[in-house]
């Protein structure tokens, strides 16, 4: 018998509980109808379906059904073996991870226009900070002794994140056939830029005395936030999102080696 803790983890989210209830009652449902019933954004619905992928199947009409494991999941929910509010018993590690990935914030980008100004402000903050600190931005990295002017550095910072957005659009389609939801993805990536946006200001304040581990922590946090942005922006599971974000970082590093920025 499977570990029930995995079922409880999946059913912790009310949207996933609702999906299981709908499929347990209606037997099958199309994506559009499911999204309208849930009242959630495209990326968010895809994300929850991806989380439940081991418990679902699709017929020839691309409608979702519960498989045998999914029916067991529905039975657990129907029999009341799952506490009504699992968040009460949520482990500290889960709460910590949730805020480390800023999941509560990203979840609200289902209406991206509300957070788009914040995302743009973060990108502008990073762009101006990089230019004032005279640091050449290279997505996840910075380099001293810039070869560009103030305006060029600020522009380069913005284009780095636009490039990451375009890469994510292409790569998630290539690997997972996910299309659309562009505005939410861009909004999420703007939020994910926060660690790199604040680094130049830390550098200006501490200057040469800045400890190496501060940069390392911000890079790791940035990578985690980018992964979360892919989760919510393109509706893929975290393990798949990490593949995309790590690929982006490896390509970033490879390009910098080819340009001779690493010695």
pTM: 0.77
What does the alpha-carbon distance between residue 224 and residue 228 come to, in Å, rounded to a whole number? 6
In this predicted structure, what is the pLDDT of residue 131? 95
% pLDDT > 90, the chain:
40
- Helix, strand or coil, per DSSP, at residue 66: strand
pLDDT tens for the chain, residues 1 to 263: 445 556 666 777 788 888 988 988 888 888 888 888 888 777 778 888 888 888 888 888 888 998 888 888 788 777 765 544 444 344 444 566 677 888 888 888 888 899 999 999 999 999 999 999 999 999 999 988 777 899 999 999 999 999 999 999 999 999 988 888 899 999 999 999 999 999 999 998 886 667 778 888 999 999 999 999 998 888 888 888 999 999 999 999 999 999 888 76
DSSP codes, 195-224: HHHHHHHHHHHHGGG--HHHHHHHHHHHHH
Of 257, 226, 206, 234, residue with least CA distance to 140: 226
- How many Cβ atoms are within 10 Å of 95's Cβ, its own excluded? 11
CA distances to 27, 46, 255 from 177, in Å:
25, 11, 26
Question: Taking the alpha carbons of 108, 112, 117, 122 in that order, is the dihedral positive or negative?
Answer: positive
Burial 52-64 (b: 16+ CB within 10 A, else e): beebbeeeeeebb
Look at residue 235 and give its three-state secondary structure. Answer: coil
Report the pLDDT value the prediction gives residue 85, as an integer from 0 to 100: 44
Q: Which helix (H) or strand (E) holds 247?
A: helix 238-258
SS3 assignment, position 90:
coil
pLDDT in tens, 85-144: 444 344 444 566 677 888 888 888 888 899 999 999 999 999 999 999 999 999 999 988
In the Cβ-directed half-sphere of 140, how many Cα atoms lie within 13 Å?
24
User: Residue 96's pLDDT is what?
Assistant: 67
What domains does the chain contain, in order, with CATH numbers? Answer: 4-90 (1.10.10.10), 98-258 (no CATH)
């Amino acid at each position: 018998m499977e570990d029930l803790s995995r079922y409880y983890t999946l059913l912790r989210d009310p949207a996933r509980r609702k999906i299981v209830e709908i499929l347990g009652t209606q037997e099958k449902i199309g994506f559009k109808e499911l999204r309208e019933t849930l009242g959630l954004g495209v990326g968010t619905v895809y994300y929850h379906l991806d989380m439940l992928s081991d418990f679902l199947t699709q017929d020839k009409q691309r409608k979702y059904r519960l498989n045998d494991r999914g029916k067991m999941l529905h039975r657990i929910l129907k029999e009341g073996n799952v506490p009504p509010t699992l968040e009460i018993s949520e482990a500290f590690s889960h709460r910590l991870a949730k805020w480390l990935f800023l999941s509560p914030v990203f979840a609200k980008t289902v209406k991206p226009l509300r957070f788009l100004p914040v995302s743009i402000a973060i990108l502008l903050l990073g762009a101006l900070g990089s230019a004032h600190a005279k640091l050449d931005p290279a997505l996840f990295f910075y380099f001293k002794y810039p070869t560009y002017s103030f305006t060029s550095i600020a522009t380069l910072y913005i284009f780095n994140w636009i490039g990451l957005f375009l890469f994510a659009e292409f790569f998630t389609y290539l690997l997972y056939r996910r299309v659309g939801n562009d505005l939410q993805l861009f909004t999420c990536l703007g939020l994910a830029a926060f660690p790199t946006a604040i680094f130049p200001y830390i550098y200006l304040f501490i200057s040469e005395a800045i400890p190496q581990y501060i940069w390392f922590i911000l890079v790791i946090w940035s990578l985690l936030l980018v992964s979360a942005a892919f989760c919510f922006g393109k509706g893929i599971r975290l393990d798949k999102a990490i593949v995309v974000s790590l690929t982006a970082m490896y390509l970033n590093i490879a390009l910098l080696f080819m340009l001779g920025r690493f010695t």
